[in-house]
Amino acid sequence: MPKLIESLRGLDDFLVYFVAALALLVLFLAIYVRTTPYREIALIREGNNAAAASLSGAMLGFILPLASAIVNSAALWEMMLWGAIALIAQLVAYGIARLLLPHLAQDIAAGKTASGVVLGALSIGIGILSAASMTY
């Protein structure tokens, strides 16, 4: 029994970081779906694969650097700060994608899967770069 208690010693820190990370993810999703001119959730419910690929990539692209922030942070406030930076990086990536592909929003709303996959891949790529750059 003492080994079990020893193993669970960090449970309170786990819960704090996990809940904070989930709160950041919810915040990211709330901001992201309001930033895009199309309604991802409604489109996904209708079976729009482009919207699903796009939003899934954006979530993963945010979660990757958020996980890195959790691993590398010495304090909760640092994780929250770097999580906010990762959130901004994803929003900037979306803005750049809109500049490079002017019809992106219409294509995703129309269910053009290629556009959703490209945006999702860009989001994941930015997330990987963000995570790797968190070497503080």
Give the percent of the chain with pLDDT over 90. Answer: 88
Count structural domains, the chain.
1
pLDDT at residue 1, rounded to an integer: 63
Domain extent for 38: 2-133
Residues 87-133: tens digit of each pLDDT: 999 999 999 999 999 999 999 999 999 999 999 999 999 999 999 99
Query: What is the CB neighbour count within 10 angstroms for residue 67?
Result: 16
Tell me, yes or no, if the pTM score tops 0.95: no
Element (H or E) spanning 95, and its range? helix 76-100
Q: Which two tokens stand for residue 32?
A: 């992201």
